[in-house]
A and B are shown apart, each in its own frame.
Chain A
């Protein structure tokens, strides 16, 4: 009798062990999926430029060199002098200098009026312009176009040479008017 009961109990326990779940699997520190990126693979894609100039390539250009390029590659969309459109108006300085965009719906967001960082011009032109052949400009051409646009906005002298040392130093009048998001932080963090 005792033996039979014992056998019955062990059988029941065995059954329990089979249906009781194990604790949820813990995620490992690393999964080991993916492969290391080589310096060459990174360099092939790493085209961004930061406000302090990190990422700017070798090369240089002047406004005079950029003027001819602008006429053939940019004027069609941005106008003969950068003020006419039909696409984004790039050139123009508001004489008030007070950043009155909230009061004046017609004030164009030009590089001289609205762009807070000169490095952004280089970064954007190099990655996305012209739309018919994005990424086709040489670094010297991008420096030259950047110099042309900055000079047209009265931000650098006509003879200034733009390169990785000089471009981050260009003072942009709009920078002082940008503020971070001051909306109050969330009372409750959105749930996952």
Chain B
């Protein structure tokens, strides 16, 4: 067989590919081996095994302990669905807008993309984002991994509402998905005419299936359930529809024997993502870092405590601090040994301060459900450097 340069290269590539199917093999000196050729779709470096935390068949969490910066990789964005992830043909998918409008209309995906588009970096958080059942071996992703940040692209719902002409007296609209739950939520018209999007893009490409491909409602700063995925229909009306999701679910009992409904806004919260379980740290300088976010606009300040909340120091915020997006904070700490409890506390631009667990319990009562709980949380740095979740009793 005649050996050409081409066959030699193909053989080398084949050998590399074969190696990667068994175990990630790295050359002792990469500079002595020709590297891989270009490829149409990139992949993570073979040693990187980052993945979401599966909570059930209906939810998975972002592994914040493994991430940096503020953008969540699209394939690690948290997911929560109520009837599974549907497979939708984008060439036949459309969105119907009807009800109290002058001109009921249908927009195909291609037509939605012809309207002026808007892209913005926003966080999205499930209102049930407090995992508190795993004890000390809780990771940041298990504790608060139902929040993620992406750059979302779509058409403003306000643009479409102008196209159909909203009639006087319209106050709410119903958003409906085409998943097996045919999930519905009622949305105040003010939000629809402000910053709501019908999104079709996420981090520069089409939405991921579990994020609502090909179209989803996106309501910046509001509880994730209201940003209805796989959106197929919007009905404009004069009153809320009182769907199952906004009555029997996604409502919060309060200590005065009431339940709050339509509590859309996500309040300010912060989460130390490092050091945290399952990390072990060494004595010396440690960069404490994490994310903070608020549905009320920008994060103004994040305080960090390394003495269990007795004293607090303002952390450095990574610029730019974007409204309605995760903000990365960092705080240098010289750990000299001995047990320590590290905590963070977010303050947003309205002056709202992230509450303690006790303050929330006083308001909600010991029977409180999981919705809209944003307590200050912490991690215990043990004397041997092992970091575990600071477990707290919730009544």
Contacts and interface: CB of A to CB of B under 8 A. Distances in A.
Nearest to B184: A48
A86 interface: no
Interface residues on A, range: 35 or more
A180 B114 CA distance: 38
B244 A123 contact: yes
Contact of B105 (A37, A106, A124): A37
Contacts of B261: 116, 178-181
Given A41-B96, A48-B241, A190-B323, A34 B251 contact: no
Contact of B114 (A33, A51, A191): A33
A41 B97 CA distance: 11
A188 B349 contact: yes
Interface residues on B, range: 35 or more
A190 B115 contact: no
A104 B244 CA distance: 22
Nearest to B238: A50
A33 B115 contact: yes
Contacts of B163: 30-31, 33-34
Contacts of A1: none
A22 interface: no
Contact of A190 (B181, B235, B324, B365): B324
A136 to B, nearest CB: 11
A36 B232 contact: no
Contact of A105 (B96, B114, B395): B395
Contacts of A35: 105-106
Interface stretch (B19-27, B206-214, B262-270, B284-292): B262-270
Interface in A91-110: 98-107, 109
30 contacts: A31-B115, A31-B159, A33-B107, A35-B106, A37-B105, A48-B235, A48-B243, A50-B241, A52-B239, A103-B367, A104-B367, A107-B367, A114-B259, A116-B261, A117-B247, A127-B181, A128-B180, A174-B259, A178-B261, A179-B261, A181-B260, A182-B260, A183-B263, A187-B296, A187-B350, A188-B296, A189-B297, A190-B220, A190-B221, A190-B295
10 closest Cβ pairs, A-B complex: A102-B365, A101-B253, A124-B244, A127-B182, A102-B253, A105-B367, A37-B104, A34-B107, A187-B350, A181-B263
